[in-house]
Structure 1
Amino acid sequence: MAPRLCLCLLALLLPAPVPAPPPPRTDWAAGRSLSRELLRLLAALEVPHHVLPCCQEEMRLEEEAPEEDWPPRIRCSDTCDPSTLDTNNTRCLRRILQGLQHYRDLLDSDIFTARRLPQLETTLDQLLGLVQQGHGRPPRRPPTPSATWAHQLLQHQALEQLQSFAAVMSRVFTHSASTH
């Protein structure tokens, strides 16, 4: 009996474990506002259309690794549909974070050196801060510079892809802002 009594007394002297803080809640309304602002900025951009006048819409530079999911796209398997968002949005937010980081990295790359887009960068930074909630990574720079002749084409492609990504992301934030 004495060893049990000692253990009980010892347990009383030890500090109680501190419960883990609840995960931060996503500010869906702020996400809705910022994603709409991103779409507005993208729509207002004047993308140079003189890159390849005859066949610009048909010309695309292929990704280096087409088997990868790059650039990040919000897919059905990311569970960003309304019925799943209401119960579990972790996977969807992870995909949105991945996409935002990718496009922020592109804006910091050599592709946009001659054409900085500070308002777009600021809005992406604000969205990143909202979504990452301590689980993100700092932006990384693409490892290989692209050919100077291709910058305008790559800018056009990157901004077009960002606009598609932002449209879906905005729908996610709009739905979640109305239900939370």
Structure 2
Amino acid sequence: MAPLRRLCLCVLLALLLPPPAAPAPAPAPVPLHRPDWAACRILSRELSRLLATVKEPHSALEGMQLLDEDSQNWPPRIRCSDSCDPLTLETNHTRCLHRIRQALQHYRDLLGSDIFRDQPQPQLETTMEQLLRHVQEGHGHHPRVPIKVWDFWAQPYQRHQALKRLRSFAAVMGRVFNHSAR
């Protein structure tokens, strides 16, 4: 009789208890921002094309090689640790896009600085701004940061350095976008 009583109590208790709550819905996955890779590829090619047309006003600087005197002051550049390799880009491109965004913001600000006052590059700035908009999508807009140039006589050399580094960056960035747009 005791086993039957226990069974009745268990059934009665089950009927008196509130039904179990429905499991909470799983949180919606945070969408991973995927830029328009094809548009980025087109704009990065246009950027490289425009950079190739920029002529150095001081012919002595044309063949000048840059020294890596102070790597701390270099603008952001794509490194191996930025995960911009083809295999990593397939699964997670966040780190790579962050680095590209940093560099594009730096060069955009540099193009608007006093370094380029004597030789403005409006087409280059416009293309870079468009590319930055595609890469920034979902990350907010970052305002321009004024870049001060302290030595007026060093401007031609600084412009030369900036363009040379921007060309190098644009080549690597172009490879990233070319791979990702496939």
Per the normalisation by structure 2, the TM-score is 0.78
Displacement of 1:20 in angstroms is 7.3
Secondary structure in 2 matching 1:46: coil
Over aligned residues, Cα RMSD in angstroms? 2.7
1:42 match: 51
Q: Distance in 1 between matches of 2:168 and 2:40?
A: 16
Partner of 1:148: 152
For structure 1, the 5+ residue unaligned runs are 9-15
Matched residues in 1 for 2:37 and 2:117: separation? 32
Superposed CA offset, 1:13-58 (max 9, x none): xxx9x957634421000010000000000011111233558xx615
Counterparts of 1:108 and 1:138, CA distance in 2? 12
Partner of 1:79: 83
| Alpha-carbon separation, structure 2, partners of 1:59 and 1:25 | 35
Whole-angstrom CA distance in 2 between matches of 1:149 and 1:60: 19
Amino acid corresponding to residue 135 of structure 2 in structure 1? V
Give the structure-1-normalised TM-score. 0.78
Q: Quote the offset at 1:151 in angstroms.
A: 1.0
**Conservation of the 8 A alpha-carbon contact between 2:111 and 2:120:** yes
For the pair shown, the structure with the greater C-alpha radius of gyration is 2
- CA distance 1:83–1:23, change in 2 (3 Å): closer
Amino acid at match of 1:40: R
Is 2:61–2:160's contact at 8 Å kept on the other side of the alignment? Answer: no
> Which whole-Å CA distance do the structure 2 matches of 1:36 and 1:161 have between them?
16
Residues in 2 aligned to 1:41 and 1:67: alpha-carbon distance in whole angstroms: 27
Cα shift readout 1:127-180 (whole Å, capped 9, x = no counterpart):
1100011425212112x32311111111111001000000000000000001xx
- Where does residue 117 of structure 1 map in the other structure? 121
**1:33 corresponds to:** 42
Q: Secondary structure at the match of 1:86?
A: helix
**1:48-80, Cα deviation, whole Å (9 max, x unpaired):** 233558xx6156595xxx353621110000000
**What residue number does 2:143 align with?**
138
What is the CA–CA distance in structure 1 between the aligned matches of 2:73 and 2:150, rounded to whole Å?
A: 20
Alpha carbons 2:44, 2:170 under 8 Å: kept = yes
Distance 2:175 2:66 in 1: 29
Aligned residues: 162
AA matched with 1:45: V
Identity of aligned residues (%): 56
